[in-house]
Structure 1
């Protein structure tokens, strides 16, 4: 097995400087070093390569044939590194590359169409999106951005940006209300079918409502229990009964006539929405572009 002759980049840079200036003294001045250090760096490189790179006289420093061969390769290598540095610098300033985003299922489907505009604005972005209601490990699973609804645990390894606040409201389909009658008070909810969400903890999620000046919880007897946020919306649209969902999720369906907003005066403040980003060096331009887009989109979808 032949011995490796890899040379430190610093020594290669010194060699190129000497070759370009034709002088150890001028190379040292250009590099902010001493003539002695420059000479020692070239000597170490020649020893490592097992050949002489320069012919030295009292009047001139000239490349040997091996030196000319090595200079061409060294310049190509340094040019490649400079190009890579420029590309990385451009990537930091211009959003480019893959961004992995984890979104809650129902909420994510609300945001998914908006990514068309994001891609039109930043065509060098590639998006990898997961829609799931399970809790993800932002760091362990390699996500760039994880969007979560609700209060978040304190974690020093994460940075969090609040995207918006939500409100909770009661909704049902026009077809259901035509069959079962309109709802004009909270008391009438007891006479109607309820579609209820089962949270990640396994508990049925009570409805939080405003009753005059008081906030209280209702525990309806469900005709359908679902553990998927999007399925909850779809069940309400299909006419299963009344459900409580987030205003941003319900809004496009209300506007399209698929859902009716019941008892708006009973709406309550819902959970906040946060974007979770793994801590590290300065946030990449691609990640910042996605987070800013999510915040802007949610501001525009306010009811």
Structure 2
């Protein structure tokens, strides 16, 4: 049994995108989590259509599947990280525009999912107002996704308005459980921020799981670490994904490791493959005893 591994382009910020894709494919990854941002595929570039066609050709040549990530830090505001968001006091329409652009790009690239998050609720804003902003902002995004047949995968982020898997499930419920809206789980966030175990988080998402991000973390510290530097149990995570028959990409998310991206990507894949072998061996032993 296997899991399809990918690597995030936000961890290759010092590489040209074609070079990053070449390294990721050359190491043996199955896919790529492509963050739309100015160093790579800028969703606001005047020649974005041409860029998308070139990226599509390169993905095909390298045999890479793709998911679209939208967590670029300063793509909308040069001064304020991640702003505006879906729950900001103003400018939410700019985030909606970015996400709709991401969905159209995702459709052109045949992306398996387009992933995004809520944003941080401004201080002094009530939860009721946060929900109102989020629900009204996300509706046109889901409409565009439904029109183009693109899956949206909502990610709970530590410190943001929706910060747990249960929060994403609550969002889906409030929206009427739209089929187009599913779940992204970052396994590091489960250790950092969730009250239940890593495996329990993945199982809570269940069949709604459409995108997985892989990294290590410490409890209470939202810092993406290489495998082995935190408290994430890779075998626990991979066993849960296999138990769920998860078929999407599981992509390494190390945005602060671009200074040594090829080496980090190689170490990460080696760690993932070793953990997967261990899980499969455990399963074979269990089946032999049954």
TM exceeding 0.5: no
Shorter-chain TM-score bucket reads under 0.3
Q: Could you state the TM-score of these two structures normalised by the residue count of structure 2? A: 0.25
Q: Which one has the bigger strand percentage?
A: 1
Q: TM-score, normalised by structure 1?
A: 0.24
